Structure 1
Amino acid sequence: MIDLKLLEQSIIDFSNLKQEPEWFQQLRRDAFVKKTLLVLPSFEKIRYQKWPIIPEKLIKESEEFVSKKSDENTFIQVGSRTVSLNISEELKEKHVIICDWSTALVEHADLIKKYFMTKAVKWDSDLLTATHLAQLTGGLFIYVPKNVVLDNPITTYLTQDAWDNQDYVQHVLIVAAENSQFSYLENRSTVGDQTTTANIIVEVIAEANSHVKFAGVDQLGENTTAYINRRGYLLDNAKIDWSIGLLNDGNIIGDFDSDLIGAGSHADVKVVAISTGNQIQGIDTRVTNYGKHSIGQILQHGVILSRSTLTFNGIGHIIKGAKGANAQQESRVLMLSTKARGDANPILLIDENDVQAGHAASVGRVNQEQLYYLMSRGLHKEEAERLVIRGFLGPVLTAIPAVDVRERLIETIEGKLINGQKFEKVSQ
């Protein structure tokens, strides 16, 4: 266990190096004190409390870089260091803000004070959120002004630096002002193979009548134990389309919530997850209907190979007063190994009459007749399995509206499956 005074001093040194304003440094200090009084959040049937989930390594500036092509409207960050930011003239003319965290704290302090960990995620909710604020090392801020509609997506490449033995604590804050519309694609990966902990929080604030299409493809490394928290906060008639591909190689807790605060707000959550090797993934997806006639939809499909474990929790909660609300969910797990463990837990919490709610859940193995049929047509077993898996994931993938995101997910899934099958052969 690291010396807390040493860790606190490293936080102060990092904050001074980044020239963070005093108000934010005070927030860090408050969080560092408060986290000693908080506990880890609890998720149904996900036992992660003994994992090395709390970042404890000293905070310092990243020195590594990754070379990537920087297309238009693209942000690239490795560790806490911004490698590239390329904003189109259109975005500049429309006063769209895209900047790294250090810049946001200085140049957009009023917006950060208003939205950062005050609505979607409260910094003092639990030990993981307080630790996140105290030990935050980097991230980005996106603000799309009122009535602005963007035709082209904003794309980010956010890379964890695991060449050095340091933890990764990163924050993304996205604000869609009233009547704005845009797409955001987030690519997460790891360089290096040191044993590390990641604590990642993404907040999406969707103000009245806004529409955000959020797509995330996660590929963190095998030696990274991660807590990934993505939260939406939706006002009247706002909509967030979530498309998330959890294709990591290490142990992961996914905490995905959407709070439907406003009347007519709508969250559509699609999750694809693949677990391989000895990996453990616990995915807790919740949509809470506060507003009248709000709609929450959850669709989760996962595949598990080898000795891995995958748990899906799907939670629909309709709060008292949310008349006319609709909460629907589906969670399905496909197991390709007798040594794998899967669980799909549907949970409906209904505190109001005059609502609609439903759920579906299943955990099963590959249909042997389908495999036999495909192999009788000349396919090897591994190829036949991959075709069956594509068919199983199809309902989620085809429901993703963005073609480029869908194609990227399919390509990444294929690579993950091939590596998983290789692992299974070696371990047999």
Structure 2
Amino acid sequence: MTTEVFYLLPYAYELPEWFNEMRDEAIAQWETLPLPKIERAKFHRWPLFSSDFVNEEALFNPLTYGTDAALSLNVEEYASITHAGNQTIMESIPMELREQGVLVMDLFEAMTEYPDLVQAHFGTVIAPQDDKVVAYNLAHLNGGIFIYIPKNVHVTQPIESLLLADARYQQAFNKRVLIILEENSSIDYLERVQSTGDEIISSTIIVEAIVKSGASLKYMAIDTMGQNVSNYIKRYAQTGRDARVDWAIGEMNDGNTVLDLDTYLNGNGSESQVAIVGISNGKQIQAIDSKVVNRGHHTIGNIFQHGVILDRATLTFNGIGLIENGAKHADAQQESRVLMLSDKARGDANPILLIEEFEVTAGHAASVGQIDEQQLYYLMSRGLTKELAEYLVIRGFLGPVILSMPSQRVRDELIEVIDAKLATIKADDLNG
């Protein structure tokens, strides 16, 4: 298989007028807009809105592919893209996909080369001035990723991306991802969000996925930002008729994080499955807000999220199912469960069902609780240490969500990340 691989140098793109006008409006208004509302989450004092956008030292010492940023894949086989710091440093796409019209490229590059295509979709899922975070991100956007799949094209190998924040220097990480699937197309997309360095920085990441009639998107993400990164990640998708969006997210950041995930089932017969696992430790605060809006007839939306809290951390799960008026025969189900391993931890699982139609099916389950002492006693009676017994209980608790994820490779990678996050467990830290 012939693959085109590009290792890119810093480049200043001449962006189209429509984008410059949109950004100018955001610059003028973002400070006056309200924060997004996330139930039971207080993040208004987080340093999300940094005024440090470009560090001059970072310009002369940029992250490089292979040394600082390399995906664990064979670039000869997969389409992939690496965006590090303020620039895209690697693009790789098999010639077969390029000949079919598949695009995997820097967002600013796409605005330059395909301005009409980007303009037709940019800001259609998330309005440019939807809230303070979105407008701030647009006003001070410093990079992003663009993926386009033409009609009737089915990409059999995953498309992978790495968004790597450069926390060696104080500078904001404001990124945008735009994914477009034309009719009857399909991809598996794996996104890794990471950081390098220990400076205190802010990160806002806005994702728009447009999945048109008959198309299928499996969106998998593993987020592992560092402790000094404050994160607001907003991932939204909308569907056409008989389209499908499956989310599989491992929220494993070490810094304070809001994950705001919405799916709008606009087309009749469209579906979405949401699977999320999260772990909070130390004094970390995480809020995960998952929402599925059923708009079309016979739409199906399921939310399945489990989380674990260690130490003095906080984890909030909001599961929101909205069946709008006219969405006949829609189905909205959700399950949110939180396991606390410390009496100093704080956890919430908030099921919210909003139903505006009669001929529908809906249900929810939610729980917040301490580790099962009987399970621990049983395992320890078989000769296991307390630490190992607790570890096995946690793995068993997260297991159903992990198994629901659509890729064995992603499951294996996520388990490695979970094991690393749980490696700090000590017997004295647990249960008081």
Range class of TM-score, shorter chain: over 0.9
Q: Does 1:18 align with 2:19?
A: no
Structure 1 residues 83 and 422: alpha-carbon distance in aligned structure 2, compared to 1, 3 A threshold: farther
1:122-179 CA distance string (max 9 Å, x none)? 1111111111111100111000000001110001111011001101000110111100
Choose which of 217, 232, 241 in structure 2 pairs with 1:236.
241
Q: Does 1:260 align with 2:262?
A: no
Query: Structure 1 vs Structure 2: percent identity of aligned residues?
Result: 46
Q: Bigger shift: 248-257 or 66-75?
A: 66-75
Choose which of 26, 29, 40 in structure 2 pairs with 1:34.
29
Q: Does 1:44 align with 2:39?
A: yes
In 1, Cα distance between equivalents of 2:420 and 2:152: 40
Q: Does 1:79 align with 2:74?
A: no
Q: The residue matched to 2:320 in structure 1 has which SS?
A: strand
1:105-127 CA distance string (max 9 Å, x none)? 10111111011112x11111111
1:205-251 CA distance string (max 9 Å, x none)? 10000001110000011000110000011111110010000000000
Structure 1 residues 211 and 424: alpha-carbon distance in aligned structure 2, compared to 1, 3 A threshold: farther
Could you tell me which amino acid in structure 1 is paired with residue 204 of structure 2?
Answer: N
Which residue in 2 is equivalent to 1:10?
none
Choose which of 414, 421, 429 in structure 2 pairs with 1:409.
414
Question: 1:55, 1:199 within 8 Å by CA — same for their partners in 2?
Answer: no
Within 5 Å, give how 1:107-122 maps onto structure 2: 107-118=113-124, 120-122=125-127
1:185-215 CA distance string (max 9 Å, x none)? 0011100010011000111110000001110
Q: The residue matched to 1:187 in structure 2 has which SS?
A: strand
Question: 1:306, 1:424 within 8 Å by CA — same for their partners in 2?
Answer: no
In 2, Cα distance between equivalents of 1:374 and 1:396: 22
Within 5 Å, give how 1:191-202 maps onto structure 2: 191-202=196-207
Choose which of 337, 340, 350 in structure 2 pairs with 1:345.
350
Q: The residue matched to 1:292 in structure 2 has which SS?
A: coil
Q: The residue matched to 1:242 in structure 2 has which SS?
A: strand
1:50-79 CA distance string (max 9 Å, x none)? 221223223457522314256231211211
Could you tell me which amino acid in structure 1 is paired with residue 368 of structure 2?
Answer: V
In 2, Cα distance between equivalents of 1:333 and 1:143: 37
1:230-289 CA distance string (max 9 Å, x none)? 001111111001000000000001100001111111111001000000000011110011
Choose which of 109, 112, 134 in structure 2 pairs with 1:106.
112
Residue 423 of structure 1, CA deviation: 11
Could you tell me which amino acid in structure 1 is paired with residue 140 of structure 2?
Answer: Q
Structure 2 unmatched runs, 5+ = 1-10
Which residue in 1 is equivalent to 2:70?
68
Question: 1:59, 1:135 within 8 Å by CA — same for their partners in 2?
Answer: no
Residue 382 of structure 1, CA deviation: 1.6
In 2, Cα distance between equivalents of 1:369 and 1:292: 45
Which residue in 1 is equivalent to 2:328?
323
In 2, Cα distance between equivalents of 1:146 and 1:158: 27
Structure 1 residues 67 and 344: alpha-carbon distance in aligned structure 2, compared to 1, 3 A threshold: closer
Choose which of 343, 359, 367 in structure 2 pairs with 1:362.
367
In 2, Cα distance between equivalents of 1:23 and 1:354: 43
Could you tell me which amino acid in structure 2 is paired with residue 112 of structure 1?
Answer: V
Q: The residue matched to 1:164 in structure 2 has which SS?
A: coil
Which residue in 2 is equivalent to 1:58?
53
In 1, Cα distance between equivalents of 2:318 and 2:242: 26
**Scaled by the length of structure 2, what TM-score is found?**
0.92
Q: Bigger shift: 310-319 or 35-44?
A: 35-44
Question: 2:231, 2:257 within 8 Å by CA — same for their partners in 1?
Answer: yes
Which residue in 2 is equivalent to 1:283?
288
Residue 425 of structure 1, CA deviation: 4.7
In 1, Cα distance between equivalents of 2:89 and 2:330: 44
Structure 1 residues 67 and 324: alpha-carbon distance in aligned structure 2, compared to 1, 3 A threshold: closer
Structure 1 unmatched runs, 5+ = 1-15
Could you tell me which amino acid in structure 2 is paired with residue 287 of structure 1?
Answer: V
In 2, Cα distance between equivalents of 1:121 and 1:67: 29
Structure 1 residues 392 and 93: alpha-carbon distance in aligned structure 2, compared to 1, 3 A threshold: same
Alignment size in residue pairs:
412
Q: Bigger shift: 16-25 or 109-118?
A: 16-25
Question: 1:226, 1:250 within 8 Å by CA — same for their partners in 2?
Answer: yes
In 1, Cα distance between equivalents of 2:342 and 2:398: 17
In 2, Cα distance between equivalents of 1:30 and 1:139: 20
Question: 1:97, 1:141 within 8 Å by CA — same for their partners in 2?
Answer: yes
Q: The residue matched to 2:387 in structure 1 has which SS?
A: helix
In 2, Cα distance between equivalents of 1:29 and 1:389: 48
In 2, Cα distance between equivalents of 1:285 and 1:425: 30
